[in-house]
Amino acid sequence: MAPPLLLLQDIRLTFGGRPLIENASLAVSAGERLCLVGRNGSGKSTLLKIAEGLVEPDSGKRFLQPGTTVRYLPQEPDLSAFATTRAYVEDGLGPGDDPHRATMLLEALGLTGEETPDRLSGGETRRAALAKALAPEPDVLLLDEPTNHLDLPAIEWLEETLRTMRSALVLISHDRRFLERLSRATVWLDRGQTRRLDKGFAEFETWRDAILHEEEKERERLDRKISQELDWVRYGVTARRKRNMGRLRKLEGLRTEKREQRRQVGEVKFGASVGDVSGKSVVEAIGISKAFGEREIVRDFSTRIQRGDRVALVGANGAGKTTLLSLLTGVLAPDSGRIKLGTNIEMVTLDQRRDSLDPMMTLSDALTDGRGDTVIVNGEARHVIGYMRDFLFQPEQARAPISALSGGERGRLMLARALAKPSNLLVLDEPTNDLDLETLDLLEELLDDYTGTILLVSHDRDFLDRVATSVIVSEGDGRWTDYAGGYSDMLAQRGATAPARTVTKADRKDEPKAAAAPRAPAKAKLSFKQKHALETLPARIEKLDAEIAKLAATLAEPDLYTRDRKRFDAASARLAAAQAEHGAAEEEWLELEMLRESIEG
């Protein structure tokens, strides 16, 4: 293996009396493609700052090969010291670097170079920072959440650009597909220590789960050994006290081992408060149009959203996704056409803006709306500390101001607030921002189990594939098209990548000028919901078989009709319903199995 350009060894760093990083290493060789993964708060961004030289560890070694150039993309770039975006990007160029590359990157990312920092949106700031990091084509690129605030065309452009660069990469991202396409090795930062897998992110989760399973087996072994030693202490120590003090010391050692054994951070426990059932038709849009000045956002669009649908809105930044979402939910009136909302709608909205709460408000007050220490979830009162724990907040954070929370913690807080409210229509605008991969998994499971209707906006392609049952796509010039299935299903039907608008001076500068060159159509695959149904339907069919047999035996009891007419009628009604459910389940399984075979065949 080639000697590393950048090397971290035995890194240790403590924040606030608690070790954040205890035994971490990172080796980056020329041309490597590494992804750095771990839970929110595990220290990934801090380790990247140590690699860049911005943070000094308590102990350990950082080595950089002489002459190696490194560029770092922070999560929150600061452009305040520069007059324009061009000045900011050119500040990152070395003596031999081509200044024309800076101009080319700015234009490719939808910027002119003349923007002033105080007028930039979050997406524009991120694009300027990307241009600065990419312009010199450094030996090592350290990228912390590079897809944050980027739309789908920009993400696809960035993927293609990074794929063709000679630079070694270290990536932190919550975008699964981005990591799968770019990474060739994975470093897992977990409980202060790093483990390395010499395979890309696509293989990571299977490897991680195997490690955690072995750890759980080891904990069970330790628990059994402690239990055996406690039995000996209770019943055998009195008569042999002097002779067996060594065994007591061994027991204390086992207890210490268990006490010091750092378990993986707990899982978020999501559960949405479900309101009353809505009408079958939730939203019906008939020929709606909306324009702002001369710019047409929505033109003659019609759709019908039924109870239980999961509808995703997809398009470039500035295409009008949030506007269309506001039209469909009745927040905004169309210029023409008609929006008809269904009956008994209980809507809860998760806004993409994390600044909608007073930064000086405490976490506890944000969850209780300042009314005591109780949160009402599904009609039941819960103490705020217990509800906080479900979302991985510690009791001592209850009185901490929101301004002290990380981006991921603010994301979990907004989810906790939204999910506590009863609803049958969830409106989610960029719900995946700043969430780690494990929390995303749990959010996907919650949405899959949610019995109501979901409208969502997201740039996370994997999340869209797992959650959405249909996708409404911006085709440009105010035209929107409805496609069945998730994001990959939409690409297969269109035969191209998601469209990007050409940026004009009249448009928002918050998007790229053009999409990457069209790729081959994505291979069709089962959605997350279809996979889940295919896996769980056989068990449901078997359960219904057993119930039908039991009901048939009940109805076969002699004289049941004359002896207990009420029981007979109930069993007859349930038998008919169970047989209907059985038939529907078998039919659904057969359709999914045929679909799976056609995809794999």
User: Which residues are CB-contacts of 8 (< 8 A; sequence separation ≥ 6)?
Assistant: 24, 25, 26, 27, 47, 50, 51, 60, 61, 62, 63
Q: Do 486 and 533 belong to one domain?
A: no
- What pLDDT does 584 receive? 77
Is pLDDT larger for residue 233 or for residue 443? 443
Q: Is the pLDDT of residue 103 over 80?
A: yes
> In the numeric block, which tokens belong to residue 445?
């499971």
Q: Which range (261-275, 375-389, 499-513) has the least confidence?
A: 499-513
Is pLDDT larger for residue 525 or for residue 507? 525
- What pLDDT does 256 receive? 58
Count the alpha carbons within 13 Å of 377 in the hemisphere toward its beta carbon. Answer: 20
Last residue of a domain, one of 494, 517, 543: 494
Burial of 487 (0-12, 13-18, 19+ CB in 10 A): buried
Last residue of a domain, one of 446, 478, 494: 494
- Kindly state the average pLDDT of the residues 457-474: 90
Q: Do 152 and 28 belong to one domain?
A: yes
- What pLDDT does 503 receive? 37
Q: Do 327 and 198 belong to one domain?
A: no
Q: Which range (108-117, 506-515, 585-594) has the least confidence?
A: 506-515
- Kindly state the average pLDDT of the residues 124-151: 92
Q: Is residue 571 included in any domain, yes or no?
A: yes
- What pLDDT does 186 receive? 96
Gap between the Cα atoms of 306 and 311, Å rounded: 10
For residue 248, name the pLDDT band (cuts at 50, 70, 90): low
Q: Is residue 566 included in any domain, yes or no?
A: yes
Q: Is the pLDDT of residue 141 over 50?
A: yes
> In the numeric block, which tokens belong to residue 442?
């749990």
- What pLDDT does 518 receive? 39
Is pLDDT larger for residue 243 or for residue 41? 41
Binding residues: 38-45, 315-322
Q: Do 175 and 49 belong to one domain?
A: yes
- Residue 188 phi, psi dihedral angles, 5° rounding: -105, 115
- Number of domains into which the chain is organized: 3
Burial of 421 (0-12, 13-18, 19+ CB in 10 A): middle
Q: Is residue 540 included in any domain, yes or no?
A: yes
For residue 6, name the pLDDT band (cuts at 50, 70, 90): very high
Percent of the chain clearing pLDDT 70 (strictly above): 82
- Kindly state the average pLDDT of the residues 148-155: 87
- What pLDDT does 112 receive? 92
- What pLDDT does 116 receive? 93
Q: Is the pLDDT of residue 239 over 50?
A: no
Q: Is the pLDDT of residue 473 over 50?
A: yes
Q: Is the pLDDT of residue 70 over 90?
A: yes
Residues in a beta bridge with 374 = 383
Q: Do 198 and 152 belong to one domain?
A: yes
Q: Is the pLDDT of residue 597 over 90?
A: no
Q: Is the pLDDT of residue 259 over 80?
A: no
Q: Looking at mean pLDDT, say which of 36-50, 127-141, 278-292 comes out highest.
A: 127-141
Binding residues for ATP: 38-45, 315-322
Q: Which range (43-47, 106-110, 195-199, 433-437) has the least confidence?
A: 433-437
Q: Do 57 and 183 belong to one domain?
A: yes
Q: Which range (49-63, 183-197, 269-283, 524-538) has the least confidence?
A: 269-283
Gap between the Cα atoms of 63 and 27, Å rounded: 9
Q: Do 311 and 200 belong to one domain?
A: no
Residues recorded for the chain:
601
Q: Is the pLDDT of residue 520 over 50?
A: no
Strand 6-15 and strand 70-73: pairing? unpaired
Burial of 423 (0-12, 13-18, 19+ CB in 10 A): buried
Q: Is residue 62 included in any domain, yes or no?
A: yes
**Average pLDDT of the residues of the chain:** 82
Q: Is residue 217 included in any domain, yes or no?
A: no
> In the numeric block, which tokens belong to residue 590?
């057969």
Q: Which range (117-121, 167-171, 393-397, 520-524) has the least confidence?
A: 520-524
For residue 241, name the pLDDT band (cuts at 50, 70, 90): very low
Question: Distance from CA of residue 588 to its chain's centroid?
Answer: 29
Q: Is the pLDDT of residue 151 over 80?
A: yes
Q: Give the domain CATH number at 559.
A: 1.10.287.380
For residue 172, name the pLDDT band (cuts at 50, 70, 90): very high
Q: Do 538 and 488 belong to one domain?
A: no
- Kindly state the average pLDDT of the residues 507-533: 51
Q: Do 59 and 142 belong to one domain?
A: yes
Q: Is the pLDDT of residue 507 over 70?
A: no
Q: Is residue 88 included in any domain, yes or no?
A: no
Q: Across the beta sheet with 295-306, what order do the strands follow? A: 295-306, 281-292, 336-341
User: Which residues are CB-contacts of 438 (< 8 A; sequence separation ≥ 6)?
Assistant: 39, 267, 268
Asked whether the beta carbons of 424 and 274 are under 8 A apart, the reply is: yes
The pTM assigned to this predicted structure is 0.67
Q: Do 429 and 489 belong to one domain?
A: yes
For residue 242, name the pLDDT band (cuts at 50, 70, 90): very low
- What is the CB neighbour count within 10 angstroms for residue 546? 10
Burial 124-156 (b: 16+ CB within 10 A, else e): bbbbbbbbbbbbbebbbbbbbbbbbbbbbbbbb
Q: Do 465 and 542 belong to one domain?
A: no
Q: Give the domain CATH number at 329.
A: 3.40.50.300
Q: What share of the chain is helix, strand, coil (3-state, %, to 5)?
A: 40, 20, 35
Q: Do 149 and 291 belong to one domain?
A: no
Q: Which range (300-304, 390-394, 501-505) has the least confidence?
A: 501-505
Please choose, from the candidates 326, 325, 354, 373, the residue with its C-alpha nearest in 3D space to the C-alpha of residue 414: 354
Q: Is residue 481 included in any domain, yes or no?
A: yes
Range of the domain at 31: 6-69+138-206
Q: Is residue 380 included in any domain, yes or no?
A: no
Asked whether the beta carbons of 183 and 34 are under 8 A apart, the reply is: yes
Last residue of a domain, one of 206, 235, 264: 206
- What pLDDT does 327 receive? 94
